[in-house]
Amino acid sequence: MTLGHQLLAAISVAGQVCLGLVFLMAAAQKVSHWRILPGVIANYRLLPHWAVAPAASLLPPLETILAVLLLSAWFKPWPALAALMLLALFAIAIAINLKRGRTHIDCGCGQSFLKQTLRWTLVWRNAGLAALLLPSLLLSGPGTMSVALTGMAAGLGFFLLYLALNILAALPGMRRFA
């Protein structure tokens, strides 16, 4: 296995671990605040009224299933592809509302204690998260145990960086930089 292949494999594992943890956390937050989730989804004004409740009911289990599959690396590359599509859907929903001038609504990104209103950095954040999954579409597995462990550690690091950046972005004084 070449050094380039090992690096790509480690990045693949890192992306899956990071996004698995992101989706797991998002699902847990949505479940813990299930009463407000339909309102958050309705605020985007993209679904007909009758579809809001089913979407709110299906989103947390979907995120949980994706998280488990990404963290377990089963059925590769399908979980990564599904996660990419879900991230793209979220980014498109945010972008549509930004184009409409609706920046005041909560993004619903899953961290209720750090509510964030819509802005372009959230679209770019989703694109960055999606980019972490691209190597997973190319490779079938990490290869060696050392590559897998390196990827897991990097994925945890990416996840912690994601959390730190979300905390900073949600602080009132930091919004002018986002």
User: Could you tell me the residue ranges of all domains in the chain?
Assistant: 3-177
Percent composition of the chain: helix, strand, coil (DSSP 3-state, to 5): 75, 0, 20
- Decide if 71 contacts 17 (C-beta within 8 A): yes
Residue 151 has pLDDT above 60, yes or no: yes
Question: 133, 2, 131, 108: which is closest to 55 by C-alpha?
Answer: 108
Compute the radius of gyration of the chain from its Cα atoms. 17
Answer positive or negative: Cα dihedral of 90, 96, 97, 98: positive
Residue 111 has pLDDT above 60, yes or no: no
Q: Tokens at residue 111, please?
A: 């961290």
Q: What is the pLDDT of residues 21-50, one digit of tens each?
A: 999 999 999 998 889 999 999 999 999 999
Q: What is the pLDDT of residues 58-83, one digit of tens each?
A: 999 999 999 999 999 766 789 999 99
Q: What is the pLDDT of residues 83-97, one digit of tens each?
A: 999 999 999 999 999
Q: What is the mean pLDDT of the chain?
A: 88
Instruction: Using DSSP, state whether 159 is helix, strand or coil.
Output: helix
Model's pTM, two decimal places? 0.89
Residue 176 pLDDT level (bands cut at 50, 70, 90): low
